[in-house]
């Protein structure tokens, strides 16, 4: 339901007046005025990789750790509004999010400084002067009840905050949650800063990962407007020279430009959905099979205000926005030496958009892509030789914060185009069309061969994903099943609570479920919530059914671990940490024809908790507009 409304409506108007929300004073970095803290975005140009920051070359802090200080800033207004990280590297103030390079077992510190509403004290003090951060304070809940999925109760709790808080999430990090605790708030200390002490696990796969803010209620706006970067776990022996490796970061273009400026006004659909929800009366919950639930009416109408939705249920009426690549207008240009293996680390740095990636030759014919890694995990599972095996596919879907490592070698004169293609986002979402992202051209053949690389098709049975699938099939009684259902609604004005949309991910294995939003509670002095939605025993293996009961796509992500996406590409299981959750199927509803039935779409994943650190962390939809509005839950591993 209008998942990227931050660009379609003046949803970020509150940011313009942030200085009155949380004023502070203190250290001003590099003597640059607040209005110019973020450099203007780049225009059309050759693709340029983000700056590389090797943690082993960072200066030492007062505790003897290599430390990177990232100050979060806000600049601009309207369509040109943006967030950025400012940091000092090689004596130069940078505003392009760095690619942070680490090794397995490496220890370092990252300090996140909150300068969103003005300069804070936390940037210019010793690390020992930064007090421990505490969780973000949630407002006192005001709960209203509505009738929801399968006639079960919805506990609606509305929360809206300006995007002035921030913190850090190392997306894909497999260490303890305490080292990158996403519940913490930089505004919880007088320094407006949090110091994170991180040790990369010795078992962390060598590959491509992301970092971004995770402050609840603020992450969508901040990531959408530029606040995300890449971290890479390097193998001990580099398989390719640095020059033959390229980070390709997909973001929304800034200034923001609509893909379709003629998209109709969706206000009548919102009004109809609100009226429909308000009219629903309580009813007896419907009996159901949690792993094969029945069709249920969509909460969004098919027709409103004289406008008809796509009867096939695939294409929404709203417009998405144009993309950029490493800050350059798409399509960017990349020239590589002919005959030399190249590694493309393609990352989806958007807050809410999935991309169906394809590779085309000059005639438009789809070319196979050799995937050597997905979400940081080598297909082979071999971190010493992460490029040794690949899976070939004509298309790969990467959702917000997903990453795919693609190996290619261009012949002399060859030209390829990396594009994103139309896919079924759902009638309650947006229309996703074809866009060229990167034009890749073969340059001259080097006088001397700089690198050679042997890479072979993967034998799936020998991969980590294949082995876990084989275990699950061979030991079905040892695998615990859960059903997690994605739902969304529009609710009417109720007292002081305005009309609003709300999003839920609920464990529906238990027939007595209530839909409720993410709303953590904390014991005195605690830094993690005391109200987990799911408790899992360490050492267990589970299969989760991700049930999309809506007509909008979602994206599932769980912290501190990877899982097996059972059908990552057609017929092939792969390890991942974020998975695209396709829409359901529309069916006619004879009782209420304008609110079609949705036959849920089920995506299955296998989660191996045998080596996951004990702790409390989250899973959520990684369409961050949904996450910020409740579609997140807490899991505790004991």
Residues 142 and 291 in one domain: no
Question: Does residue 80 lie within any of the structural domains?
Answer: yes
What's the pTM value of the predicted model, to 2 decimals?
0.94
Residue 29 clears pLDDT 50, i.e. is over it: no
Residue ending a domain, choose from 237, 260, 291? 237
Same domain, 46 and 169: yes
How far from the centroid of its chain's Cα atoms is residue 592's Cα? 35
Burial track 268-302 (b if 16+ CB lie within 10 A, e otherwise): ebbbbbbebbeeeeeeebeebebeebebbbbbbbb
Mean pLDDT computed over 472-484: 97
What CATH number does the domain containing 523 carry?
2.60.40.420
Residue 42 has pLDDT above 70, yes or no: no
Cβ atoms of 435 and 419 within 8 Å: the answer is yes
Say what percent of the chain tops pLDDT 90: 83
pLDDT tens per residue, range 331-382? 999 999 999 999 999 999 999 999 999 999 999 999 999 999 999 999 999 9
Determine, yes or no, domain membership for 509: yes
| Contact residues for 256 (Cβ-Cβ < 8 A; gap 6+) | 7, 79, 80, 321, 322
Verify that 486 and 623 share a domain, yes or no.
Answer: yes
Question: What is the arithmetic mean of pLDDT over 228-237?
Answer: 96
Evaluate whether residue 474 is within a structural domain. Answer: yes
The tens digit of pLDDT for each residue in 428-439 reads: 999 999 999 999
Lowest pLDDT segment from 44-48, 497-501, 585-589: 44-48
Lowest mean pLDDT among 29-33, 244-248, 375-379: 29-33
Question: Based on the structure, what is the number of domains in the chain?
Answer: 2
Can you spell out the DSSP letters for 129-181? GSPPP-BPPPPPP-EEEEE-GGGPEEEEE-----TT----EEET--S-GGGG-
Q: Is residue 207 part of a domain?
A: yes
Tell me the residue range of the domain where 496 lies.
278-301+463-637
| Helices and strands of the chain, counted as H and E runs | 6, 45
Q: Quick one: average pLDDT of 624-633?
A: 97
Q: Same domain for 79 and 140?
A: yes
Residue 568: what pLDDT?
Answer: 74
Residues 192 and 62 in one domain: yes
Is 255 among the domain residues?
no
CA 93/CA 85 separation, integer angstroms: 10
Residues 174 and 295 in one domain: no
Q: Tens of pLDDT along 63-111?
A: 999 999 999 999 988 888 999 999 999 889 999 999 999 999 999 999 9
- Does any domain span residue 179? yes
Would 514 be classed as within a structural domain?
A: yes
Closest CA to 349 of 578, 516, 533: 578
Question: End of a domain among 183, 207, 237?
Answer: 237
Same domain assignment for residues 530 and 591: yes
Question: Do 23 and 152 fall into the same domain?
Answer: yes
Claim to verify: residue 297 and residue 223 sit in the same structural domain: no
Residues 633 and 576 in one domain: yes
Domain boundary among 184, 217, 237: 237
Give the model confidence (pLDDT) of 537-582 as tens digits. 999 999 999 999 999 999 999 999 999 998 877 779 999 999 999 9
Does residue 153 share a domain with residue 43? yes
Q: How do residues 410-430 score in pLDDT, each as one tens digit?
A: 999 999 999 999 999 999 999
pLDDT of 32 higher than 60: no
pLDDT in the model for residue 451? 66
Domain co-membership, 286 together with 155: no
151 belongs to a structural domain = yes
Cis peptide before 252 (omega within 30 of 0): no
């Amino acid at each position: 339901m209008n998942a990227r409304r931050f660009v379609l409506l003046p949803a970020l108007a509150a940011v313009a007046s942030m200085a009155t929300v949380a004023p502070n004073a203190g250290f001003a970095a590099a003597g640059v005025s607040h209005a110019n803290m973020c450099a203007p975005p780049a225009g059309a140009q050759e693709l340029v990789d983000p700056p590389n920051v090797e943690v082993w070359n960072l200066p030492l802090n007062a505790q003897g750790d290599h430390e990177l200080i990232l100050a979060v800033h806000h600049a601009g207004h309207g369509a040109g509004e943006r967030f950025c990280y400012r940091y000092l590297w090689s004596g130069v103030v940078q505003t392009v999010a760095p690619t942070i390079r680490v090794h397995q077992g490496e220890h370092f510190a990252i300090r996140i400084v909150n300068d969103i509403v003005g300069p804070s004290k936390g940037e210019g003090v010793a690390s020992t002067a930064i007090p421990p951060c505490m969780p973000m304070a949630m407002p006192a809940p005001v709960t209203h009840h509505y009738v929801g999925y399968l006639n079960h109760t919805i506990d609606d709790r509305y929360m809206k905050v300006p995007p002035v808080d921030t913190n850090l999430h190392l997306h894909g990090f497999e260490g303890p949650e305490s080292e990158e605790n996403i519940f913490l708030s930089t505004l919880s200390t007088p320094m407006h800063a949090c110091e994170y002490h991180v040790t990369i696990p010795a078992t962390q796969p060598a590959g491509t990962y992301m970092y971004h803010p995770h402050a609840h209620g603020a992450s969508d706006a901040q990531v959408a407007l530029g606040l995300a970067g890449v971290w890479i776990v390097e193998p001990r022996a580099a398989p390719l020279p640095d020059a033959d490796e390229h980070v390709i970061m997909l973001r929304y273009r800034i200034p923001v430009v609509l893909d379709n400026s003629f998209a109709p006004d969706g206000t009548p659909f919102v009004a109809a959905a609100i009226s429909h929800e308000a009219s629903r009366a309580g009813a007896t919950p419907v009996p159901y099979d949690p792993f094969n639930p029945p069709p249920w009416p969509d909460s969004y109408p098919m027709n409103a205000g004289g406008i008809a939705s796509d009867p096939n249920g695939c294409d929404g009426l709203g417009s998405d926005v144009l993309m950029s690549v490493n800050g350059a207008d798409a399509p960017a240009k990349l020239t590589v030496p002919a005959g030399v293996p190249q590694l493309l680390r393609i990352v989806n740095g958007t807050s809410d958009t999935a991309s169906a990636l394809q590779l085309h030759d000059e005639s438009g014919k789809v070319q196979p892509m050799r995937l050597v890694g997905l979400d940081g995990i080598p297909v082979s599972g071999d971190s010493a030789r992460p490029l040794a095996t690949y899976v070939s596919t004509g298309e790969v879907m990467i959702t917000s914060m997903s990453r795919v490592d693609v190996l290619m070698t261009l012949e002399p004169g060859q030209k390829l185009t990396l594009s994103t293609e139309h896919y079924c986002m759902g009638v309650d979402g947006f229309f996703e069309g074809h866009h060229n992202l990167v034009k890749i051209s073969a340059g001259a053949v080097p006088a001397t061969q700089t690198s050679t690389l042997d890479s072979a098709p993967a034998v799936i049975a020998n991969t980590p994903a294949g082995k876990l699938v084989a275990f699950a099939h061979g030991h079905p009684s040892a695998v615990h099943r859960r059903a997690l259902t994605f739902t969304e609604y529009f609710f009417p004005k109720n007292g002081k609570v305005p009309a609003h949309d709300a999003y839920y991910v609920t464990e529906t294995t238990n027939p007595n479920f209530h839909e409720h939003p993410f709303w953590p509670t904390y014991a005195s002095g605690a830094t993690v919530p005391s109200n987990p939605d799911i408790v899992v025993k360490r050492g267990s293996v589970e299969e989760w059914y991700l049930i999309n009961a809506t007509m909008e796509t979602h994206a599932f992500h769980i912290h501190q671990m990877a899982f097996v996406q059972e059908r990552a590409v057609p017929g092939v299981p792969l390890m991942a940490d974020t998975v695209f959750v396709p829409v359901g199927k529309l069916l006619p509803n004879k009782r209420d024809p304008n609110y079609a039935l949705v036959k849920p779409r089920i995506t299955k994943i296998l989660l191996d908790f045998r080596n996951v650190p004990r702790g409390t962390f989250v899973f959520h939809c990684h369409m961050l507009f949904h996450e910020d509005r409740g579609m997140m839950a807490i899991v505790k591993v004991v």
